[in-house]
Each structure stands twice: as C-alpha cells, then as structure tokens.
C-alpha cells in the first residue's frame, strides 16, 4: 500500500504533493556566446544545471522545483586557460562552467524568480541593482493574472558613464557597474541609515539604468515598476538580447 501511495504521489506530484515547479527555457539571441549561471537561494540544494554554454541562436532548459527561489544570469567573454574556466563579465569564480552554488560577480544583469507552491503567486523581475552586463528578459508562459514579461532590452554599456564603466583588455566597455558597486556608499547601496524605501531614493546613476530599462530594478527599492507576478504555475523563458 505504501509503495502504491508513493507511486501515485510521484505521478500526480504537480497536483497533490507540492512538487510541481516550472521549466525555465534559456534562449540566446545575442550575436555571441553566453554562459548562463543559476543560483538557488538560501543554501538549498542547487539545480542540476548551475552553468552551461549557450551559443548564439541556441536554447536550453532547466527544471526548478516548487517552491523555489533563485536567480539566473549570463556570463560573457568566457574561456579556459590552463584548465581554469573564467569569464570577462558575471564570472562566478568556480573555475568551471558550472557555478556550483556561487553567484555572479557584479556587474551582472540578473533574472530573479520566486516560484510559489501549489500554483500560488510567483514573483519575478530583471534587476540591474548589481549593474549590467547583457540585455535580458524573463517572461511567463501560461499562468493566470498579469503575467507580463519583464525586460531590459537596451545595451546600457553604450550609455554607461566613465566612472561606472568596466572595460575589457581592448578598452571596450563590457559591463556597467551600479553606483553601489562602484562607490560602496550607503546612499547608493540602500544600507545603514538609507535602509528603507522612504530613505533610499533614485540617484543620478540609478536614473540612467531606469531610463534605459524602466521595467528592470534600477536600485534596491525600485519595487513599484519592477516586480511582476503570475499565478497557476507558469513556465518561464529567459532571453539574452531580447
């Protein structure tokens, strides 16, 4: 009887056992390779794929359980030297294609996702709070409610002020730091006496990000225009260079 119940639970997990999650499909529309990274929050077991290569025009996917919370990003300019893998932007420092529980080193564009159990309300967003390195979007497939895509399609590197620029060996701007990353001051990081929505306000730097990508988080308390929701267990598509 116990084995029968277990089998039934496994088969109908998405409806009765709280195991149903979402399929996350990554599509690379950039004219260059991107190496997506994944990070599960709160030190929980990581996903089967924590990093992989995605050539221009290719797609790949990973399944997440329910409930689940974490983030995704795209690394660029990656290569292996003497057996050690590293990337020019958003490197996770693992020395491998897989990030193995390590997050992106800023600056990095992030797709953040909270999958609620049993078809509850999911939350998702694109964030430039840690800076920008690649245009990116996240869009639910299915579900009910608003379920709108969140996108940062602009190349913020093109308008990045000199004091925020991160350049490659050829002098080209490869990423744009946030003011918090560049200056590490409470008023830019929303820390210390600025650690509340009424105290931490947009700055001249966050407004540059906001103007280019109004749907994306430009600073830590940019919730009103940047948090998106969807019900009933949608899948998600994450697109690089949407």
60 falls within a domain: yes
**C-alpha–C-alpha distance, residues 103 and 72, integer Å:** 9
Domain ranges, residue 71: 13-240
The total number of structural domains in the chain stands at 1
pTM for this model (two decimals)? 0.90
Query: Which CATH number goes with the domain that contains 136?
Result: 2.60.110.10
Mind listing the pLDDT tens digit for each residue in 55-74? Answer: 999 999 999 999 999 999 99
Which of these, 74, 70, 61, lies nearest to 24 by C-alpha position? Answer: 61
pLDDT digits (tens, 9 = 90+) for 141-161: 999 999 999 999 999 999 999
Question: Is 76 part of any domain?
Answer: yes
Residue 207 in any domain: the answer is yes
Confirm whether 26 is domain-assigned: yes
Of 230, 52, 123, 31, residue with least CA distance to 62: 52
Task: Give phi and psi for 186, each to the nearest 5.
Answer: -55, -40
The chain-wide mean pLDDT, for the chain, equals 91
- The label of the residue with tokens 């159990």 reads 117
Residue found under tokens 């598509």 = 237
Residue 79 falls within a domain, yes or no?
Answer: yes
Domain annotation covers residue 8 = no
Residue 241 · residue 30 · CB < 8 Å: yes
Examine residue 152 and say whether the peptide bond preceding it is cis (omega within 30 degrees of 0): no
Q: Is residue 85 included in any domain, yes or no?
A: yes
- 201 belongs to a structural domain: yes
Over residues 182-196, the pLDDT tens digits come to 999 999 999 999 999
112 neighbors 203 (Cβ within 8 angstroms): no
In sequence order, the β-bridge partners of residue 231 are: 144
């Amino acid at each position: 009887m116990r084995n029968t119940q277990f089998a039934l639970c496994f088969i109908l997990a998405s409806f009765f056992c709280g195991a149903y999650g979402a399929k996350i499909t990554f599509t690379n529309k950039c004219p260059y390779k991107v190496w997506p990274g994944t990070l599960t929050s709160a030190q929980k077991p990581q996903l089967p794929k924590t990093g992989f290569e995605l050539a221009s025009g290719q797609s790949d996917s990973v399944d997440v359980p329910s409930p689940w919370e974490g983030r995704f990003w795209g690394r660029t300019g990656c290569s292996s030297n003497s057996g050690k893998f590293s990337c020019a932007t958003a490197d996770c420092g693992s020395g491998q294609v897989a990030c193995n529980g390590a997050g992106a080193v800023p600056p990095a564009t992030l797709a953040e996702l909270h999958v609620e159990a049993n078809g509850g309300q999911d939350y998702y967003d694109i964030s430039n709070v840690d800076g920008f390195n690649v245009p990116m979007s996240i869009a639910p497939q299915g579900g009910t409610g608003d379920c709108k895509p969140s996108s940062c399609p602009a190349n913020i590197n093109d308008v990045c002020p000199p004091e925020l620029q991160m350049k490659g060996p050829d002098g080209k701007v490869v990423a744009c730091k946030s003011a918090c990353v560049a200056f590490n001051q409470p008023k830019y990081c929303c820390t210390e006496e600025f650690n509340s929505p009424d105290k931490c306000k947009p700055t001249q730097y966050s407004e540059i990000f906001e103007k280019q990508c109004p749907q994306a988080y430009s600073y830590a308390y940019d919730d009103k225009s940047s948090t998106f929701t969807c019900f009933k267990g949608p899948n998600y598509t994450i697109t690089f260079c949407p």
